Structure 1
Amino acid sequence: MNAGSVLRFILILFLIAVAIGMVVRLAHGVRQRWRDRRTRGDGGGRG
């Protein structure tokens, strides 16, 4: 493989990793917000 294809491969992997991280962070935030809304009278203990 030449340098161009290696750089493109690394860039694609980086973009995929960033996208997965954003999705995981968004899902975690939505889940936390939903849990806080469900257990509002429980004092909202942070994990």
Structure 2
Amino acid sequence: MVIAYTIHHSIEKRKRIWWVLNFIICTVYINLSTNVIYPAYAIVGI
């Protein structure tokens, strides 16, 4: 029971990390595409 919970918890945590990574990547991509004049600002703004 504890092992199953631990596995489930680690999977959920990994999913959350991937969601955050995807969110950051999308945000950076949008910033870079909209701020073509100041791409460095978008990179620093992470």
**What is the Cα-based RMSD across aligned positions, in Å?**
0.7
The count of aligned residue pairs is: 42
Q: Which runs of 5 or more residues in structure 2 are unaligned?
A: none
Q: Normalising by the residue count of structure 1, what TM-score does the alignment of the two structures yield?
A: 0.83
Give the 4+ runs in structure 1 shifted more than 3 A. Answer: none
Identify the structure with bigger relative contact order (alpha carbons < 8 Å, sequence gap 6+).
2
Q: TM-score, normalising length from structure 2? A: 0.84
Q: Secondary structure at the match of 1:41?
A: coil
- In 2, distance between residues paired with 1:40 and 1:22? 27
Structure 1, unaligned stretches of length 5 or more? none
Structure-to-structure mapping, 1:27-38, within 5 angstroms: 27-38=23-34
- The alignment-based identity, stated in percent, is 5
User: Which protein is bigger by CA-based radius of gyration?
Assistant: 1
Pairing partner for 2:4 from 8, 12, 17: 8
Name the counterpart of 1:24: 20
